[in-house]
Amino acid sequence: MTDPVLRVRELGVRFGVDGPAAVDGLSYDVHPGETLGIVGESGSGKTMALRALLRLSPPNAVVTGRVLFGDRDLLQEPESAMAAVRGRTIAMVFQDPTTYFNPVLTVGAQVAEAVRAHHRRTSRKAARQRAVDLLRRVGIPAAEHRCDQFPHEYSGGMRQRAMIAMAIANEPEILLADEPTTALDVTVQAQILDLLRVAQEETGAATVLVTHDLGVIAEIADRVLVMYAGRAVEEAPVRSIFDSPGHPYTAALLASRPILGDTLKRLRPIPGVIPAIGELPPGCAFNPRCDLGRDDDRCRTVRPDLRTVVDGHSSACHHAEKLLDIMTTSGERA
């Protein structure tokens, strides 16, 4: 396997120097052309971890750790250097494009601005033509006409397509996508996922995809990182996650989702709620909601570290081997 294009080491995001941690000790690698899916419930720290990579955290956030892009630590780079990285070598597709588009500028002008921001010698006419080509490339109908329309004249799916056009305008090496299919209907969601896949194939970019939707993960990810209460609790190839989850939280997520065509299977909701930032239990954060280790003193008092349980499959669970054995011998599948 090629060397990672991005290496995240012990990433932490706190609100205040001594404040609670929204992200705690997150580490992972992303390789060229690979899609890493980060999944978890709302409040698990997924979006905060993604935004920290480009130093887009809230002003009161304290970010620690290392984000290694080649031989550069992006957390130590001056802001002028980060301005050259954002949108050029690392680009981001945000969750709600309505929030990030300027309502008083045309969509084409904003896509063209993404081009000219990193290619100052490009003329306005050439940048506009590039914007039209990009909008056409992401499937915007009548791109020449739509280029001169404002964001409110686009549907939700079209705005998301336009945001992807902005993200791939400079053919970045890494594409970050934060819940890119949220609030879209199933048909449009499938189209957006196909578009992300095609964009990745054409540019060769590595992709980090944040979502709470396991169906999206199954569709597009190569590897999966499962987050809970700000920490990574499991990491494995996507097929391993779905066939043999090695953490009770991952198993519970899979059991709580509906299966198309399986009308006899009852959904199993996860009891309780994810703990609030700063109110984590002393041991495993998932312990109060866990059937496997709820009565185990070790689970209540000792926080498990993420460790390799089988080749390529890591879990932060004291009972990971037992769970993997249960899933294998029972033949239970997601």
Give yes or no for a contact between 284 and 317, defined as CB atoms under 8 angstroms apart.
yes
Q: Which residue has the tokens 């209907």?
A: 185
Greatest CA separation found in the chain? 68
| Predicted TM-score (pTM) of this structure | 0.91
Cα 272 off chain centre by:
24
Q: What is the C-alpha to C-alpha distance for residues 151 and 103, in angstroms, rounded to an integer?
A: 6
Tokens of 108: 């084409």
In this predicted structure, what is the pLDDT of residue 95?
Answer: 84
Cα 191 off chain centre by:
18
Burial of 109 (0-12, 13-18, 19+ CB in 10 A): middle
Q: What is the C-alpha to C-alpha distance for residues 74 and 78, in angstroms, rounded to an integer?
A: 9
In this predicted structure, what is the pLDDT of residue 334?
Answer: 41
Using alpha carbons, select from 58, 73, 55, 76 the residue that is nearest to residue 9.
Answer: 73
In this predicted structure, what is the pLDDT of residue 203?
Answer: 81
In this predicted structure, what is the pLDDT of residue 333?
Answer: 46
Per-residue pLDDT of the chain (334 residues; tens, 9 = 90+): 688 999 999 999 998 878 889 999 999 999 999 999 999 988 899 999 999 999 999 999 999 999 999 899 999 999 999 999 999 999 999 888 888 899 999 999 999 999 998 988 899 999 999 999 999 999 899 999 999 999 999 998 999 999 999 999 999 999 999 998 877 888 888 888 888 888 888 888 999 999 988 888 998 999 999 999 999 999 999 999 999 999 999 999 998 877 666 665 677 888 888 988 888 989 999 999 998 888 899 999 999 999 999 989 999 999 999 888 887 666 554 4
Region class of 229: left (phi > 0), else alpha (psi between -120 and 50), else beta: left
Give yes or no for a contact between 315 and 226, defined as CB atoms under 8 angstroms apart.
no
What is the CATH architecture of 6-221?
3-Layer(aba) Sandwich (3.40)
Give yes or no for a contact between 46 and 78, defined as CB atoms under 8 angstroms apart.
no
Domain parsing of the chain, residue ranges: 6-221, 227-330
Residue 280 DSSP code = -
| SS3 readout for 132-185 | HHHHHHCCCCCHHHHCCCCHHHCCHHHHHHHHHHHHCCCCCCEEEEECCCCCCC
